[in-house]
Structure 1
Amino acid sequence: MSQMQIVSLTTDFGIADYFVADLKASILSQYGFVQFVDVSHQIASHDIMQAAYYIQNVKKSFPVGTIHIVAVYNYYSEDSKFVAIEKDGHYFLGPNNGVFSLVFDNVDHSSVREIDFGEEMSLTQLFSNAVALISNGIPLEDIGPIVSDFQSKLPISPVITQSQIRATVMHIDHFNNAVINITKEQFDRIKAGRGFEIYYKQTDPIRKISNHYGEVAVGEVLALFDSTGYLVIAINMDRASDQLNLIKNETIQINFI
């Protein structure tokens, strides 16, 4: 009996149309023993940085052998290509548009395979055939040749000095919290026991890191590190992005004193 295959799906297809159902149905037609996990189908259109952020934070929770389909900004050029990567026992399928260079700190380019079946196929056929082959134990080298032009993108990194961090709002979550591209490890290393001021506007900085939202009064602004290790600016029981006018790519300044 065929083994149950876990397939995670991260797309910018949305939920109002039939695209997600079409993809799942196509996969099931090729390999019927699939358990789907929908990471998100509401990635902002073409936003590979948001897709990478989601995959970075969920991949560690999946068992070895999971196939992760990342279908975001699929047709990024006139000659769009799709790739298959095996990393830490997981398989990643998606467009060669730089998204996987944002997911992983390093990728061995010689191990990245183009998904190429030698004929014109729809996007759903391409993914479903690749899932079926991997699920049946076919090695990636039989799926296609090594990609000669693996695409890399540079992530937006914080600017760090001994006395200051200039970071960026990289994500606004479902609760309207602002997720900042600075990790607890980076923060603690530069802080080195000193006090700090987190400026999300010119005045009234945050001077304390909370452990959870309930540590401050309802309606009060706070900063904490979330379960993924990133700094978050939030308002207890309110919508920080709306109330504080925080948007993606806005600068957050942290001074150490």
Structure 2
Amino acid sequence: MGFIAQSICETLWPTRCALCDTPGKLLCPRCARSLEFIDYYRACPRCGSPWGSLQCDRCNPVTERELADVSPCVSCFRYEGGAALLVKTYKDKGEQRLADVLARFLADVVDPAWKEWAQAVSYIPATTKARRRRGFDHMALVAQSFSRMTGLPCTQTLEECKAADQRTLSRQERIANMQGRFQAIKALGLNRVLLLDDVITTGATLSSAQCALDRSRCSTRIATIARA
């Protein structure tokens, strides 16, 4: 869009904060400060659980029987309050410009050593039904923006197999539903990928993706916008 067209659009429909509706920015400084950031030094170094630095309640041998094993993983926020609204506004209200905002948060939380380690950045593809409903693949846009910020090439590494909508399922049903959901794209030609997703709940989706890439001898490290 040209400068004049952008100016006209901004005059008619000024940019507003996605959380408080204040004119000016997509995410105003006050709302950005209110987000429930996860403290990197208090989080589990393996799965990224917010309070797991000393003893994780998510990836220890007992809870691993109930939750899918996903590691290593880091996340920006706890999925509540403003962070949950931010993700939902982006995914379900069509505010695609938030892709750059979310990608910046991810770029800040990912360890620089991970960026050096990875050959490419990739993402969990949206289901066909979700893409049709929203009109875009939300994590593809975030990954592309992340790529521009970090210089890592962006590539799709996974193809979707059939699975039910996760939002209607219990924790155990989510894990069973995700088994075999993904397959790695043939002739991938990559050994180390940084994989992005929006929200980690049980870890079932990411575990399935990680397993599919493992079968193609591609190692993964994972970063998500939020975790429930």
TM-score with structure 1 setting the length: 0.28
Which structure is higher in RCO with an 8 Å CA cutoff and minimum separation 6? 2
Q: Which has the higher helix share?
A: 2
Larger Rg: 1
Higher strand share: 1
